Each structure stands twice: as structure tokens, then as C-alpha cells.
Amino acid sequence: MSGGLSAFDLVIFDWAGTMVDFGCRAPVAAMAEVFARRDVTLGEAVIRADMGKGKGDHVRAILARPEVIAAWTAAQGSAPGEADAETMMEELGPLMRDAAAEAAELIPGAADAVAALRAAGLKVASSTGYTREMMAPVLARAAAQGYQPDHLVCAGETPAGRPSPLMIYRACADLGVWPFARVVKVDDAEAGIQEGRAAGCFTVGVVASGNAVGLSLAAFEALQPEHRATLVAEAAARLAGAGADLVIDTVADLPAALSESRQGHA
């Protein structure tokens, strides 16, 4: 069993909450808005419960929740159906694109982490629950800040999204990387960790900047240390429960954490 960065050939990063958008705030705001247009108010916890899935799957998962069906029926006079989901996705595209673009600041230390991985000979890929349309301005802003992954797979570009492993399969096939045990999947949401596990990758959960804590960088830093530690511990437990082999605060910690890791997982 080998260890350290030499145990890996490829790292696949999620985007919101992992590499950009500290707290994964943009998807929450856009999703809340598209439901509010239909007089259905969503709590943040409801939106975050299925975060990491492709946005179409995410909308459908929210619409399937009993409390949302009840609120929708009260507001619209009938239960939501597939036609509603499709109409909402059409509206969600520009809403999510604009929100994601506004929140596309790199997580502190992200660009340096990628540079360290590349210096060690690793390839860098990415995947996202955003569609290609939603990602266009995010890619441009990330590139301007020094982050350009070698590969990107977006929601809707594989027959199934997370937690299926198909986006990982696509990236590895296109980049010519195998076996999957030499691939690292880094994500802040349970669906992304489950995706990595399904593919047989080494999975790393990101907690402080991610969906489970859900706070902007300023709000996170303003917390009392004890409260901050509690939220991080709770988030770490959730990602470990989803199968993460390793849990870190942010991607800034990744090169050192992988250097100290021992490859191999159940």
C-alpha cells in the first residue's frame, strides 16, 4: 500500500463549496428564487439536503418532498408534475448562471493547492451539478484567478449524475487515467462523496467551505471559535458518514493531507 501524492494520478474537484463560492451560497439563492416565483417558500435546509446532484435532479428531489408537495398544492391548486420541473429548469438556468458568476471567487488557497498538485505530476479535473450554461461565467472568472482544470464534466452530460459515478468515468476516460484507486474525488456534498465511492476513488470531504456548514467566508470567520468547531465537526461527521476517506477544512489543506495519507480504503 503506497502513500502520499505518488499514490495518485488525478484529482477531480467539485466546484461550488469546494473550489469557489465559500459556503456554497449561490445554488441556494437561485433555487429559492425559482420556487418563490410560484409562491412556495423553501427553507435553506430543504434546498441543501440534495445539494451536489445535477440541478434537474435537485429540482425533482425537492418537488418530491411531502412538505413541498403540500405547499405547492396550496399555492398552485394541484400537485407539481414533470412539466413544472422542466419549466423551472428553464428559468433556473439564467438564475443559477448569474448567481454562480457572482459567487465565483476562489476558496482561499485553492489556486496554490492546484499548483502544488500539478507540480507533483497530478492531473486536475472537475465536475459539477451546474449545467454547461451555468458554468460559462464561472470558468472565465476562475481562469482569471488562476484556476483552469484540465477537464470539466457538467450536469446533463452523462446518462446519470451524482451520486452515480458516470461523471468520474467520463473524466478518467477522456484523460486516460486508471485505475480508479489512483483517482481522488474532492467534494463538499454527500452526493459527491457517494459518487467517488461508487467509482472506487479515494474520497476527500471538504467541510469548512462547503454545503454542510453553508456560511460565507465572512460569516464563518465571525463565529465564536467554539461554535465554528462544532459546525465543522458536524459537517465532517456527515461527509464521513457518506464514505469520505479523508476530511479537510478547505482545499488549501489538500496537498499536505494527501502527502500524509496512506492510500487504501474499504
Task: Give the pLDDT confidence of 222-243 residue by residue, as tens digits.
Answer: 999 999 999 999 999 999 999 9
Place of cell 487504501: 264
CA dihedral (111, 231, 221, 29) in degrees, to 10, reads: 70
Residues 6+ apart with CB under 8 A from 202: 7, 8, 181, 183, 184, 185, 196, 245, 246, 261, 263, 265
Dihedral angle computed from the Cα positions of residues 54, 243, 148 and 257, in that order, rounded to the nearest 10 degrees: 160
C-alpha span between 142 and 124 (Å, rounded)? 14
Q: How far is CA 130 from CA 162, 204, 248, in A?
A: 12, 20, 23
14 is known as an active-site residue: yes
Domain positions in the chain: 5-24+106-260, 26-102
Q: What is the pLDDT of residue 55?
A: 94
Sign of CA dihedral 59, 65, 70, 73: positive
The residue with greater pLDDT, 87 or 261, is 87
Select from 237, 242, 192 the least CA-distant residue to 12. Answer: 192
> What per-residue confidence (pLDDT) applies to 263?
52
- Mean pLDDT value of segment 75-93: 97
Class level of CATH domain 5-24+106-260:
alpha beta
Q: Which residues pair with 126 in a beta bridge?
A: 13, 152
The pLDDT confidence band at residue 260, using thresholds 50, 70 and 90, is very high
Q: Active-site residue 53, yes or no? A: no
Q: In the predicted model, is pLDDT for residue 117 greater than 70?
A: yes
Q: Of the residues 9, 53, 55, 245, which is catalytic?
A: 55
- Looking at every residue in the chain, the average pLDDT score rounds to 96
How far apart CA 116 and CA 107 sit, in angstroms, is 15
Domain 26-102 fold is: DNA polymerase; domain 1 (1.10.150)
Q: Name the pTM for this structure.
A: 0.93
Share above pLDDT 70 across residues of the chain, in percent, rounded to a whole number: 97
pLDDT at 265: 45
Cα–Cα distance measured from residue 143 to residue 152, given in angstroms and rounded to the nearest whole number? 13
Tell me the pLDDT band of 3, cut-offs 50, 70 and 90.
low
- pLDDT-derived band at 123 (thresholds 50, 70, 90) equals very high
Residue written as grid cell 466546484: 15
Place of cell 480504503: 265
Task: Say whether 26-102 and 5-24+106-260 share the same fold.
Answer: no
| Res. 131: pLDDT tops 90 | yes
The stretch 202-220 carries a mean pLDDT of: 98
Query: What are the residue ranges of helices labelled H in 145-261?
Result: 166-175, 190-199, 217-222, 225-241, 254-260
pLDDT (mean) for 1-26: 92
Asked whether 77 and 40 are in contact (CB, 8 A), the reply is: no
Rg value, the chain, Cα: 18
Q: Which residues contact 52 (CB under 8 A, 6 or more apart)?
A: 14, 129, 162, 163, 187, 188, 189, 190, 191, 192, 195, 211
pLDDT digits (tens, 9 = 90+) for 47-63: 999 999 999 999 999 99
